[in-house]
Amino acid sequence: MLQGRRVLLCVTGGVAAYKSAYLARRLVEAGATVRVEMTESALEFVGAQTFAAITGEHPFTALFAADLVSPHTELARWADLVIVAPATGATIGRVANGISEDLVSATIIATTVPVLLAPAMHTEMWEHPATERNLETLRGFGYHIIGPEIGALAGGDSGMGRVAEPEEIVVAAGDILGGEGKGQKVLVTAGGTREPVDPVRYLGNRSSGKMGHAIADAAIRRGYDVTLVTTADLPTHPAAKLIRVETAEEMLAAVAGVEPHVAIMAAAVADFRPKSAAESKIPRADGLPSIELTETPDILASVVQRHPRPFTVGFAAETGGVERAVEKARKKDVDLLVYNDVTEPGSGFGTDTNRVVLIDRSGDTEELPLLAKSEVAERLLDRVAAAIGEQG
């Protein structure tokens, strides 16, 4: 979580410096206050005014030409995080060997906050033994390294050495700084369960799992230790403890093995399953079969009944007014219920947006506008963090 955090972005002299302008924009959008340092070589690839327009402050470009009395030490103390992107082989070598001959290397050596390096260079330079040794030294210092990747390089070449994408660097920065979730475990369930009728068919629902996965990603960015139990085959944050399941029984077993501080039960669990599944495919030629149904386990209730119980968030995907969801929140005894009407445009299954109402234990409601599911996740976690803070 970068909201309100101070990030010093150090740009060094490589063609990938043009991506650092977009990185600065993404950091600002994430809520960070960004200052920029540029080496003399970086100025050959991208102009200082570009960063000034993006961050609202003119970059620092020289050790002895800044308005600050001691720019490298003052900026080193100002920052919560130092990002070096791109980090050239020359800068990596200077810092690894304690050579502070320019503003960027002097600041990195002077700082005591976390440092995130995004190397970028030609493949031959990346594979050189000196680069390998220097990076190993920096890892020993506790520095964080992201990338590089395989892709297009300067001069039409292709290979290992392409700088990590700005979005990946922003995520890594959030992971390093963490947030209010440090030291707290969060369980998130996602997706719709599938209850087998036979080896081919199943009873299920239209849940895509996008909302639950968005919540898991947002929780990780805030520093929570996240376990994601999901039926959905969607991309997941590499820091998530991922447990893939299919049926309600499998989800119940997975949830039972997690002891969280917060449980966010976003999965759409099927209410019923066939009492017994056929061992082989039921032939159409045999006519319409009779399928006896039985209830699936109430996973949400199993969490609420724990002693001690986690702060529990339930979900209600309904097709009517909010009154039914308010009653459900009371009956389920959850700390917070997230209601959405799946018949509303943009709020149904499989969409990238959602319109939800948050319902607390007293029955009070907060209606959110139509938002991206990623933003709904952030708003929900704001409420969770505030409630936990009130509970002490």
Residue 215: exposed, middle, or buried by beta-carbon count in 10 A (0-12, 13-18, 19+)?
buried
CB half-sphere exposure, 375, CA atoms < 13 A: 11
Same fold, 6-177 and 185-279+288-391: yes
Does residue 239 surpass a pLDDT of 80? Answer: no
C-alpha 192/C-alpha 202 separation (Å) is: 12
Instruction: Determine the average pLDDT of the residues in 4-12.
Output: 92
Instruction: Determine the average pLDDT of the residues in 244-254.
Output: 98
Does residue 346 surpass a pLDDT of 90? Answer: no
CB half-sphere exposure, 50, CA atoms < 13 A: 18
Instruction: Determine the average pLDDT of the residues in 316-328.
Output: 88
Does residue 252 surpass a pLDDT of 90? Answer: yes
CA 330 to chain centre: 31
Largest CA distance in the chain: 88
DSSP secondary structure, 256-313, as one string: HT---SEEEE--B--SEEESS--SSPPPGGG-PPP--EEEPP-HHHHHHT-SSPPEEE
Instruction: Determine the average pLDDT of the residues in 234-243.
Output: 86
C-alpha 12/C-alpha 16 separation (Å) is: 9
Q: Which of 97, 134, 205, 354 is catalytic?
A: 205
pLDDT at 66: 67
| pLDDT tens readout for residues 180-209 | 677 789 999 999 999 999 999 999 998 999
Of 204, 198, 203, nearest to 283 by C-alpha is 198
Does residue 158 surpass a pLDDT of 90? Answer: no
Q: Which residues contact 129 (CB under 8 A, 6 or more apart)?
A: none
pLDDT at 1: 64
| pLDDT tens readout for residues 36-92 | 999 999 999 999 999 999 999 999 998 886 677 788 888 998 998 999 999 999 999
Instruction: Please say whether the structural domain 6-177 has been given the CATH code 3.40.50.1950.
Output: yes
Does residue 264 surpass a pLDDT of 90? Answer: yes
Instruction: Give the amino acid at 55.
Output: T
* Domain residue spans of the chain: 6-177, 185-279+288-391
C-alpha 254/C-alpha 251 separation (Å) is: 5
The confidence band for 335, taking pLDDT boundaries of 50, 70 and 90, is very high
pLDDT at 122: 84
Please tell me the class of the 185-279+288-391 domain.
alpha beta
- What would you report as the CA-atom Rg of the chain, rounded to the nearest whole angstrom? 25
pLDDT at 202: 94
The per-residue pLDDT of the chain, averaged, comes to 91
* Sheet containing 185-190, strands listed edge to edge, beginning at the edge strand earlier in sequence: 241-244, 225-230, 185-190, 262-265, 311-318, 336-341, 357-360, 365-367
The residue among 370 and 156 whose pLDDT is bigger is: 370
C-alpha 292/C-alpha 279 separation (Å) is: 15
Does residue 26 surpass a pLDDT of 90? Answer: yes
pLDDT at 142: 87
H or E stretch including 24?
A: helix 17-29
pLDDT at 391: 65
Does residue 317 surpass a pLDDT of 70? Answer: yes
| pLDDT tens readout for residues 277-288 | 999 999 988 887
Percent of the chain scored above 70 by pLDDT? 97
The confidence band for 25, taking pLDDT boundaries of 50, 70 and 90, is very high
Instruction: Determine the average pLDDT of the residues in 14-26.
Output: 94
Of 328, 327, 320, nearest to 301 by C-alpha is 328
pLDDT at 329: 93
Q: Which residues contact 36 (CB under 8 A, 6 or more apart)?
A: 8, 9, 10, 11, 24, 51, 55, 57, 59, 60
Residue 386: exposed, middle, or buried by beta-carbon count in 10 A (0-12, 13-18, 19+)?
exposed
* pTM as predicted: 0.63
H or E stretch including 168?
A: helix 166-177
Q: Token pair for residue 116?
A: 């995130």
The residue among 217 and 263 whose pLDDT is bigger is: 263
Of the listed ranges 297-301, 357-361, 388-392, the one predicted with least confidence: 388-392
The confidence band for 179, taking pLDDT boundaries of 50, 70 and 90, is low
pLDDT at 5: 83
What count of other Cβ atoms lies within 10 Å of the Cβ of residue 375?
A: 16
Does the active-site annotation cover 134? Answer: no
C-alpha 145/C-alpha 116 separation (Å) is: 6
Contact 216, 150 (CB under 8 A): no
Helix axes 210-221, 166-177, angle to 10 degrees: 60
The confidence band for 245, taking pLDDT boundaries of 50, 70 and 90, is very high
The most confident of 149-163, 301-315, 321-335, 362-376, by mean pLDDT: 301-315
Instruction: Determine the average pLDDT of the residues in 95-123.
Output: 92
Instruction: Determine the average pLDDT of the residues in 338-356.
Output: 89
Of 317, 112, 57, nearest to 209 by C-alpha is 317
H or E stretch including 336?
A: strand 336-341
Dihedral angle, C-alpha 234, 240, 243, 246, nearest 10 °: -30
For 98, left (φ over 0), alpha (ψ -120 to 50), or beta? left
Instruction: Give the amino acid at 143.
Output: Y
The residue among 82 and 177 whose pLDDT is bigger is: 82
